[in-house]
Amino acid sequence: MSYGIKRAVHLPFDVAVQKTRDALAAQGFGILHEIDVRKTLKQKLNVDHPNYVILGACKPDLAHDALRKDKLMGLFMPCNVVVYEDDGKVFVAAHEIAKVAGLLENDELRGVLAGVEALLRKALATI
pLDDT level of residue 60 (50, 70, 90 thresholds): very high
Are 94 and 3 in contact, with CB atoms under 8 Å apart? Answer: no
Distance, in Å, from the CA atom of 89 to the CA atom of 96, rounded to the nearest integer, reads: 22
Distance, in Å, from the CA atom of 25 to the CA atom of 22, rounded to the nearest integer, reads: 5
CATH number assigned to the domain comprising residue 60: 3.30.310.70
Average pLDDT (12-35) is: 98
Q: Structural domain of residue 53, as residue ranges?
A: 4-125
How many CB atoms are closer than 10 A to CB 56? 16
At residue 64, the pLDDT reads 95
Helix (H, G, I), strand (E, B) or coil at 125: helix
Residues 6+ apart with CB under 8 A from 68: none
Distance, in Å, from the CA atom of 52 to the CA atom of 97, rounded to the nearest integer, reads: 21
Distance, in Å, from the CA atom of 37 to the CA atom of 121, rounded to the nearest integer, reads: 23
Whether pTM exceeds 0.75 = yes
pLDDT level of residue 106 (50, 70, 90 thresholds): confident
The number of distinct structural domains making up the chain is: 1
